């Protein structure tokens, strides 16, 4: 039984559709990786789940987002205010632009507890201290009074996670949460996210372009390209035997998997600009396996074995 | 390193900057110690990777080598001749033989100048070809980096990030350099484009016998591209050696922790619990003794005292096998002991 069920989600800017027919399922305690290169639509898909698309520019043009029997795609703004932070929390790549620089860390965490749960100042304070401890900030009672600039990059990311988890959401959406961090700090933050999943049963949507991060943290994956899901399935099977040529190409061009003396198997060309997607399969101009049918006919996502789906005319059933 | 004369010889380079807000009267000026005594050599046609986390001084080192920031002490010799900020002729010669490629493909190009013009500018400044031959050379350079000459009239915003990075490489090649310093030049690109640019760099480097200093935080990229690698921590090189040696059998505890933190693309090689807590200390207050001792799992009391350990050969008398700046001979690598 999924906690969150996204069906046929499309996002449009004016007349052009940027994200099309995205299906996602998230179960309790599951870490779902949303992978893709820049412009593939992974970030706006996440924002759409929270209904945080920039008003007037982007809108959900079709589809549904089911959470606890409600469709968030059709919920009112007042209902959404009770969802954001309470049922779904969100963290971002850059904590600097999502923490208030002139508000103490403790107050930023306590604020949502007081607003959503009507807690007293004292209750909110002890909850905030507890949260800071949970995300691994040493000496949390003293750190409550610190401002974001007094924290290092990794600690700010931890503080943002504490803010997101203040009202005990069951789902955390993490948009490139470790991209701005150094690898040693990234390893700490990834470990923290997995700990929180284990301890709180948190379900996580992890948006990233880093396949190493995905391989280490996710249970299942959705690979996006040019606004569409190309392939979905359990992580291990998908990374071991990709069914879609794009997934295979993406795995192939990672440095480290190839012999250092040889050129990397790069993907020729470049991803299409948003809104100017090619007809047929959107990957066909760069695909080594493209045939005539790929130029004219868009492949639908079809089920292969073992909970795997791929949108390719020639998807190999692994 | 190499029996022949090195192309570049850096000795004991130190760079420090005055910290912001340090000009308050009657207070001691505070300094950011960005590079604290780095020595390295680069042979003609060699690729040297410089890796480390943000704030370790790798970018400052690259800039100081090219005299783009002033260094406090130490020496840079290029093709045997010493380069110092006071010697204008030596600087001009250095500029004519070296080039730099930057991280931000858009930010390093003037948005109002067509890219053909941006390349022509380099040719004119360095008087590489006669005025009438400039357009032909621009077209040749564009083709060399995999762009078509008809793009010459475009401005940077009309190109993709990968295309702009190719223009940056064409500008560097216009100098006909013997040494290129590339500072995080693929960090802003998507992996599929990154692979294209890395292939281009490797091909050009081989074809033109370019020496390349490749500064990056991405260990996988460096492993693929570079023959030798230097690992930096808090302004010092803590380990230096042949890339395969350093990556497969790291000797310095920091190198080990750094490599162990890279998430492997293989789902069955699980990330070990983080070996390092906390984050690097501020380069404003360097720790005493070994700069890594506050975070080092092997640190002894002696590590906190005296001067920082200097690089020494891991096999006494044989620098080719690699050098490490640690007081101890750690037992052979156990960092990947948790593999199945």
Under the banding of pLDDT at 50, 70 and 90, the label for residue A190 is: very high
- pLDDT for B311 beyond 70: yes
Lowest mean pLDDT among A8-22, A124-138, B243-257, B268-282: B268-282
Radius of gyration of chain A (CA): 20
Instruction: Report the alpha-carbon distance of residue A24 to residue A8 in Å, rounded.
Output: 9
Contact criterion met (CB below 8 Å) for B60 and B69: yes
Task: Mark which of A224, A251, A281 sits at the end of a domain.
Answer: A224
Contact criterion met (CB below 8 Å) for B321 and B308: no
- Check whether residue A253 and residue A213 sit in a common domain: no
CA distance A70 to chain B (A): 35
As a whole number, the mean pLDDT across chain B is 89
Residue A279 neighbours by CB distance under 10 Å: 11
Query: Which residues does A169 contact at the CB level (< 8 Å), separation at least 6?
Result: A85, A86, A87, A88, A89, A202
DSSP code per residue over B52-81: --TTSSHHHHHHHHTTSS--SEEEEEETTE
Element (H, E) at B109: none
Under the banding of pLDDT at 50, 70 and 90, the label for residue B333 is: low
DSSP code per residue over A200-233: H--EEEEEES-HHHHHHH-SEEEEEETTEEEEEE
Which parts of chain B are beta strand (E)?
8-18, 31-42, 47-51, 73-78, 81-83, 98-101, 179-183, 211-216, 228-233, 236-242, 312-315, 318-324
Under the banding of pLDDT at 50, 70 and 90, the label for residue B332 is: low
Whole-model pTM: value is 0.89
Number of independent structural domains in chain A: 2
- Find, in chain A, the residue whose alpha carbon is nearest to that of B271: A216
Q: Is B270 in Cβ contact with A216 (below 8 Å)?
A: yes
Token output for B69: 């920031």
Instruction: Report the alpha-carbon distance of residue A199 to residue A115 in Å, rounded.
Output: 25
- Check whether residue A220 and residue A271 sit in a common domain: no
Q: Is residue A236 part of a domain?
A: no
Q: Is residue A300 part of a domain?
A: yes
To 10 degrees, what angle do helices A245-252 and B191-208 make?
40
Token output for A238: 């998908």
Q: Is residue A289 part of a domain?
A: yes
Q: What is the pLDDT of residues A207-266, one digit of tens each?
A: 999 999 999 999 999 999 999 999 999 999 999 999 999 999 999 988 876 677 788 888
Instruction: Report the alpha-carbon distance of residue A214 to residue B82 in Å, rounded.
Output: 48
Q: Is A185 helix (H, G, I), strand (E, B) or coil?
A: helix
- Check whether residue A38 and residue A186 sit in a common domain: yes
Contact criterion met (CB below 8 Å) for B208 and B221: no
Chain B partners of A256 at a C-beta cutoff of 8 Å? 220, 223-224, 265
- Check whether residue A193 and residue A137 sit in a common domain: yes
Supply the range of the domain harboring residue A246. Answer: 241-310
- Chain B interface disruption, residue of A180, A219, A256, A261, most B CBs within 10 A: A256
Under the banding of pLDDT at 50, 70 and 90, the label for residue A318 is: low
Chain B partners of A251 at a C-beta cutoff of 8 Å? 265
What b/e string do you get for B70-95 counting C-beta neighbours within 10 Å, with b at 16 or more?
A: ebeebebbbbeeebeeeeeebeeebb
Geometric angle at alpha carbon B14, from B8 and B18, rounded to 5°: 135
Lowest mean pLDDT among A168-172, A223-227, A236-240, B184-188: B184-188
- Find, in chain B, the residue whose alpha carbon is nearest to that of A247: B192
Task: Mark which of A192, A224, A256 sits at the end of a domain.
Answer: A224
CATH number for the region B1-16+32-97+179-264+281-332 comes to: 3.40.50.300
Of residues A212, A239, A266, nearest to B192 (C-beta): A266
Task: Mark which of A224, A259, A289 sits at the end of a domain.
Answer: A224
Contact pairs from chain A to chain B, CB under 8 Å:
125
- pLDDT for B340 beyond 50: no
Q: What is the pLDDT of residues B167-178, one digit of tens each?
A: 999 999 999 999
- pLDDT for B1 beyond 50: no
- Check whether residue A202 and residue A275 sit in a common domain: no
Chain B partners of A152 at a C-beta cutoff of 8 Å? 279
- pLDDT for B335 beyond 60: no
User: Would you call B20 an interface residue with chain A, using a CB distance cutoff of 8 Å?
Assistant: no
- Find, in chain A, the residue whose alpha carbon is nearest to that of B226: A260
User: Would you call A245 an interface residue with chain B, using a CB distance cutoff of 8 Å?
Assistant: no
Please provide residue B260's backbone torsions phi and psi, each rounded to the nearest 5 degrees: -70, -20
Q: Is B135 helix (H, G, I), strand (E, B) or coil?
A: helix
Query: Which residues does B185 contact at the CB level (< 8 Å), separation at least 6?
Result: B101, B102, B103, B165, B168, B169, B197, B201, B214
Query: Which residues does A24 contact at the CB level (< 8 Å), separation at least 6?
Result: A4, A5, A6, A9, A32, A34, A45, A205, A222, A229, A232
Of residues B220, B271, B274, nearest to A254 (C-beta): B220
Q: What is the pLDDT of residues B247-275, one digit of tens each?
A: 999 999 999 999 999 998 888 888 888 88
As a whole number, the mean pLDDT across chain A is 92
- Check whether residue A211 and residue A250 sit in a common domain: no
Lowest mean pLDDT among A98-107, B21-30, B281-290: B21-30
Q: Is residue A292 part of a domain?
A: yes
| pLDDT computed for residue B337 by the predictor | 38
Contact criterion met (CB below 8 Å) for B179 and B213: yes
Q: Is residue A316 part of a domain?
A: no
Query: Which residues does B191 contact at the CB level (< 8 Å), separation at least 6?
Result: A37, A209, A211, A250, A253, A254
Q: Is A211 in Cβ contact with B274 (below 8 Å)?
A: no
Q: Is A188 in Cβ contact with B277 (below 8 Å)?
A: yes
- Check whether residue A33 and residue A151 sit in a common domain: yes
Token output for B252: 């310095």
Please provide residue B232's backbone torsions phi and psi, each rounded to the nearest 5 degrees: -110, 145
Instruction: Give the start-to-end residue ranges of the domains of chain B.
Output: 1-16+32-97+179-264+281-332, 113-176
User: Would you call B200 an interface residue with chain A, using a CB distance cutoff of 8 Å?
Assistant: no
Q: Is A253 in Cβ contact with B192 (below 8 Å)?
A: yes
Instruction: Check which CATH number belongs to the domain holding A61 and give it.
Output: 3.40.50.300
| pLDDT computed for residue B49 by the predictor | 97
CA distance B218 to chain A (A): 9
Q: What is the pLDDT of residues B217-248, one digit of tens each?
A: 999 999 999 999 999 999 999 999 999 999 99
- Check whether residue A129 and residue A84 sit in a common domain: yes
Geometric angle at alpha carbon A255, from A249 and A261, rounded to 5°: 110
Chain A partners of B254 at a C-beta cutoff of 8 Å? none
Please provide residue A45's backbone torsions phi and psi, each rounded to the nearest 5 degrees: -60, -45
Q: What is the pLDDT of residues A292-307, one digit of tens each?
A: 999 999 999 999 987 8
Geometric angle at alpha carbon A129, from A125 and A131, rounded to 5°: 115
Average pLDDT over residues B54-62: 93
- pLDDT for B116 beyond 90: yes
Q: What is the pLDDT of residues B18-27, one digit of tens each?
A: 877 656 777 7
CA distance B90 to chain A (A): 35
| pLDDT computed for residue A258 by the predictor | 63
Average pLDDT over residues B197-205: 92
Q: Is A175 helix (H, G, I), strand (E, B) or coil?
A: strand
- Check whether residue A303 and residue A191 sit in a common domain: no
Contact criterion met (CB below 8 Å) for A163 and A112: yes
Of B48 and B328, the one with more pLDDT: B48
Average pLDDT over residues B33-47: 95
- Chain A interface disruption, residue of B158, B166, B191, most A CBs within 10 A: B191
Token output for B115: 């890219």
CA distance A82 to chain B (A): 35
- Chain A interface disruption, residue of B49, B224, B231, B275, most A CBs within 10 A: B224
Under the banding of pLDDT at 50, 70 and 90, the label for residue A275 is: confident
Token output for A31: 């870490």
Of B140 and B189, the one with more pLDDT: B140
Contact criterion met (CB below 8 Å) for B44 and B211: yes
Q: Is residue A318 part of a domain?
A: no
* Residues in chain A, overall count: 318
- Chain A interface disruption, residue of B271, B272, B276, B297, most A CBs within 10 A: B271
């Amino acid at each position: 039984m999924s906690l969150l069920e996204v069906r046929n989600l499309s996002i449009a800017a004016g007349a052009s559709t940027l994200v099309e027919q995205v299906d996602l399922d998230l179960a309790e305690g599951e870490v779902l990786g949303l992978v893709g290169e820049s412009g593939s639509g992974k970030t706006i898909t996440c924002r759409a789940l929270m209904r945080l698309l920039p008003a007037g520019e982007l809108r959900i043009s079709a589809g549904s987002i089911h959470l606890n029997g409600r469709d968030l795609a059709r919920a009112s703004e007042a209902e959404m205010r009770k969802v954001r932070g309470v049922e779904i929390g969100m963290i971002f790549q850059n904590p600097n632009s999502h923490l208030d620089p002139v508000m103490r860390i403790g107050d930023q965490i306590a604020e949502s507890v007081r607003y959503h749960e009507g807690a007293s100042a004292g209750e909110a304070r002890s909850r905030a201290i507890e949260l800071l401890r949970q995300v691994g900030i040493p000496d949390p009672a003293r750190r409550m009074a610190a401002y974001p600039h007094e924290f290092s990059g990794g600690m700010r990311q931890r503080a943002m996670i504490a803010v997101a988890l203040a009202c005990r959401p069951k789902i955390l959406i993490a948009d490139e949460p470790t991209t701005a961090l150094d690898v040693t700090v990234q390893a700490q933050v990834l470990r923290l996210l997995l700990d929180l999943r284990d301890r709180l049963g948190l379900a996580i949507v992890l948006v990233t372009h880093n396949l190493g991060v995905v391989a280490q943290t996710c249970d299942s994956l959705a690979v996006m390209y040019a606004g569409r899901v190309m392939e979905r399935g359990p992580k291990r099977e998908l990374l071991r035997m990709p069914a879609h040529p794009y997934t295979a190409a993406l795995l192939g061009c990672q440095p480290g998997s190839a012999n250092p003396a040889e050129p990397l198997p790069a993907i020729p060309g470049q991803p299409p600009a948003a809104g100017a997607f090619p007809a047929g399969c959107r990957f066909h101009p760069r695909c080594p396996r493209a045939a005539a049918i790929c130029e004219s006919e868009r492949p639908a996502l079809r089920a292969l074995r073992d909970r795997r789906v791929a949108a390719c005319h020639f998807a190999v059933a692994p | 390193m190499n029996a022949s004369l090195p192309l570049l010889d850096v000795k004991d380079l130190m760079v420090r900057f005055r910290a912001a807000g340090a000009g308050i009267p009657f207070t001691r000026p505070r300094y950011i110690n960005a590079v604290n005594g780095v020595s390295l050599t680069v042979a003609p046609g060699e690729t040297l990777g410089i890796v480390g986390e943000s704030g370790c001084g790798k970018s400052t080192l690259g800039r100081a080598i090219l005299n783009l920031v002033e260094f406090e002490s130490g020496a840079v010799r290029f093709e045997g001749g010493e380069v110092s900020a006071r010697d204008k002729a030596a600087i001009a010669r250095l500029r004519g033989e070296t080039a730099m490629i930057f991280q931000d493909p858009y930010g390093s190009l003037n948005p109002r100048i067509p890219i053909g013009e941006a390349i022509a500018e380099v040719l004119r400044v360095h008087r590489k070809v006669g005025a009438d031959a400039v357009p032909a050379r621009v077209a040749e350079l564009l083709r060399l980096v995999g762009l078509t000459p008809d793009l010459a009239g475009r401005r940077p915003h009309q190109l993709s990030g990968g295309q702009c990075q190719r223009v940056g490489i064409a500008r560097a090649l216009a100098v006909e350099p013997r040494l290129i310093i590339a500072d995080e030049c693929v960090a802003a690109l998507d992996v599929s484009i990154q692979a294209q640019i890395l292939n281009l760099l490797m091909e050009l480097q081989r074809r033109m016998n370019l020496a390349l200093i490749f500064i990056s935080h991405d260990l996988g990229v460096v492993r693929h591209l570079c023959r030798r690698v230097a690992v930096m921590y808090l302004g010092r090189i803590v380990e230096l050696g042949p890339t395969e040696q350093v990556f497969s059998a790291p000797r310095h505890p920091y190198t080990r922790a750094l490599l162990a933190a890279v998430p492997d693309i293989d789902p069955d090689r699980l990330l070990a619990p983080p070996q390092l807590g906390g984050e690097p200390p501020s380069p404003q207050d360097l720790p005493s003794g070994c700069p890594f001792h506050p975070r080092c799992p092997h640190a002894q009391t002696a590590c906190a005292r005296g001067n920082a350990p200097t690089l020494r050969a891991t096999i006494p008398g044989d620098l080719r096998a690699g050098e490490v700046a640690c007081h101890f001979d750690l037992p052979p690598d156990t960092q990947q002991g948790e593999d199945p």
